[in-house]
Amino acid sequence: MFEFFIFILLPLISSIFCYYIRNLRVQYSVSLGVSILHLVLSLSVFLGYYHADLPFFFSVDSLSKFFLLILSNVYFWVVLVSFSYLKRPVTSKAQEGKKYYFLLLNFYLTANSAAMLSNHFGMYWVAAEATTLSVAPLIFYYRNEEALEAMWKYLFLVSVGIAFAFIGILFLTLSAKGSLLEGKQLFFWEFIKNAKELNPIWLKASFIFIFAGLSTKIGIAPMHSGDIDATSNAPSPVAALMSGSLRLTSLIGVLRILQIIRPTSSYEFAKIILIIGGLLSLFVAFVFMFKVNNYKRMLAYSSVEHLGLITLGIGVGGLAFVGAMYHAIYNSITKVVLFLTAGNIHSRYKSREVSNVTSALRTMPITGWLFLLSFFAISGIPPFGIFFSEIKIFEGLLFSDKPVILFASMFFLLFIFINMGKIIFTMLYKKGENDQLEAGTERFEFIHLSVILLLILLTVIAVISPDVIYQNIINVTKDFGMNL
């Protein structure tokens, strides 16, 4: 009961608290306290110091443990920098957005924790829809036209997508007709146990609907457009949250249905769908990197790319699956770093257009260097984590039965790297006509410190590669019934 209180109820209570207490500083302290508690508890659950036993429709297994840790890690850092972010001047209209910022952030934590810990499809659906509801007003933080449009599109597209996922869940019920599961509740574990008895046609339909519906939220092509708009127009901490954890919250739904489909004859079919989704996302990122002229959109496409890579790894299975799990954690941290530094650049140059940002390295050296470093991190340059996870995915691809996929994805990744590099080096080095911004006057802020800490964390995890994480990922693969 205690962990249920910390993971789900406490954020909810603190979000209600934020509704009544309007002082930003108090809100911030409370939210930070909640996030630290959440992080500590999820870390101790992950390390095995605390045995979690949740009531109702919630439970903990290796997968949810792992994803919950990623969530609370990302959330903690985002909350940490939120206050200094909120202090930045905005238009008078946007002042109103600050009032609800922490409220929604706390609600976001509730919804996401509930979605990750749920062991019942209905509960998962409700929580996943709630995450959309919490994030949509946050996208509208700046109260300008672009943000409004992004919010509308995101809300609408994702709601329709989630509705489709619900159809998939209903199909899953249908697939249980005539088996032991008929008339029972939609608990994950029961389905996994009796997966072989499910009707394959409905199971396939269910997989397609759930995958297509949730991919609006995961941001996999071809349903990525709402996500791209939202991520690129949201304030940077929110964008970091979305890229780092919200997408994984939806990915967990796909993983659950995959876990059910794993022992059945439909597994090959599901694999192909996932591989197509992953490759298509890489392709979309590859195409749009050529023409993108907005650096936040560029980062959003980079998210599409990496989620595509994760999906690809999951689809191929085996070693690539392990790589994908590692990739999930490294990607989430790197995305936070990238979006926070990009947010700094945005607040300095007041523009998201690449052409308006010139010689960033001279005008804001700290942010500039950090941005460059995080670009290396996301591109998979050692010693940052992504390098190791990508290597694992590639290894898995190479030893799978379809090594051709490896060449295709390497090709896409190469060009994505080149184009991203071109854009980022232009921003950092190119001399512009409006260089009236003073050089080298950037103060060392709190955000910089957190970014540095995060980069160190990323490297440390990758280099030391704690046995706990490895063991947990192995447990996840065992749950999926894969032999390495």
How far from 437 is each of 91, 362, 372, CA to CA, in Å? Answer: 21, 9, 20
297 binds other proteins (CB under 8 A): yes
**Element holding 95 (H helix, E strand):** helix 95-117
192 binds other proteins (CB under 8 A): no
160 binds other proteins (CB under 8 A): yes
CA–CA distance, 84 with 10 (Å, rounded to integer)? 24
* Contact pick of 199, 236, 358, 374 for other proteins (by CB under 8 A): 199
Piece in contact with other proteins (CB under 8 A), picked from 12-20, 65-73, 97-105, 143-151: 143-151
**Element holding 210 (H helix, E strand):** helix 200-218
- Fill in the DSSP letter of residue 141: G
Binding mask 34-73 for other proteins (x = CB under 8 A): ----------------------xx----------------
> What is the three-class DSSP state of 187?
strand
Binding mask 204-243 for other proteins (x = CB under 8 A): -------------------------x--xx----------
Binding mask 238-277 for other proteins (x = CB under 8 A): ----------------------------------------
Piece in contact with other proteins (CB under 8 A), picked from 171-179, 355-363, 378-386, 460-468: 171-179
Piece in contact with other proteins (CB under 8 A), picked from 164-172, 210-218, 242-250, 473-481: 164-172
Query: Which among 352, 221, 256 is positioned nearest to 299, based on CA atoms?
Result: 352
Report the 10 Å Cβ neighbour count for 124.
25
Burial 142-159 (b: 16+ CB within 10 A, else e): beeeebeebbbbbbebbb
200 binds other proteins (CB under 8 A): no
Helices (H), 317-403: 319-349, 360-363, 365-378, 385-398
Piece in contact with other proteins (CB under 8 A), picked from 79-87, 163-171, 238-246, 330-338: 163-171
- Fill in the DSSP letter of residue 226: H
Nearest-approach distance from CB 137 to other proteins, in angstroms: 7
* Contact pick of 146, 268, 353, 435 for other proteins (by CB under 8 A): 146
Piece in contact with other proteins (CB under 8 A), picked from 167-175, 267-275, 306-314, 357-365: 167-175
- Report the half-sphere exposure of 78 (CA within 13 A, side-chain side): 31
Structure token digits, residue 469: 């994480």
Query: Which among 80, 87, 102 is positioned nearest to 450, based on CA atoms?
Result: 80
> Of the two residues 235 and 396, which places its CB atom closer to other proteins in the complex?
235
Structure token digits, residue 476: 């996840």
> Of the two residues 231 and 400, which places its CB atom closer to other proteins in the complex?
231
Piece in contact with other proteins (CB under 8 A), picked from 126-134, 355-363, 369-377, 384-392: 126-134
Nearest-approach distance from CB 73 to other proteins, in angstroms: 27
**Element holding 35 (H helix, E strand):** helix 24-47
187 binds other proteins (CB under 8 A): no
> Of the two residues 3 and 227, which places its CB atom closer to other proteins in the complex?
227
> Of the two residues 93 and 478, which places its CB atom closer to other proteins in the complex?
93
CA–CA distance, 88 with 78 (Å, rounded to integer)? 15
Pair 200, 263: CB distance under 8 Å = no
Pair 299, 229: CB distance under 8 Å = no
CA–CA distance, 106 with 349 (Å, rounded to integer)? 30
Q: Which of residues 364-423 bind other proteins (CB under 8 A)?
A: none
Pair 415, 286: CB distance under 8 Å = yes
- Fill in the DSSP letter of residue 412: H
125 binds other proteins (CB under 8 A): yes
155 binds other proteins (CB under 8 A): yes
> Of the two residues 163 and 414, which places its CB atom closer to other proteins in the complex?
163
Piece in contact with other proteins (CB under 8 A), picked from 72-80, 199-207, 234-242, 324-332: 199-207
Structure token digits, residue 339: 């979006």
- Site size for other proteins, by CB under 8 A? 52
CA–CA distance, 208 with 221 (Å, rounded to integer)? 14
CA–CA distance, 375 with 383 (Å, rounded to integer)? 13
> What is the three-class DSSP state of 64?
helix
> Of the two residues 304 and 312, which places its CB atom closer to other proteins in the complex?
304
> Of the two residues 300 and 342, which places its CB atom closer to other proteins in the complex?
300
The residues near 183 (Cβ < 8 Å, ≥ 6 apart) are none
* Contact pick of 29, 95, 265, 293 for other proteins (by CB under 8 A): 293
Q: Give contact residues for other proteins (rule: CB under 8 A).
A: 56-57, 120, 122-123, 125-126, 129-130, 132-133, 136-137, 140, 143-146, 148-153, 155-156, 159-160, 163, 166-167, 170-171, 173-174, 177-178, 183, 185-186, 199, 201-202, 229, 232-233, 288, 291-294, 297
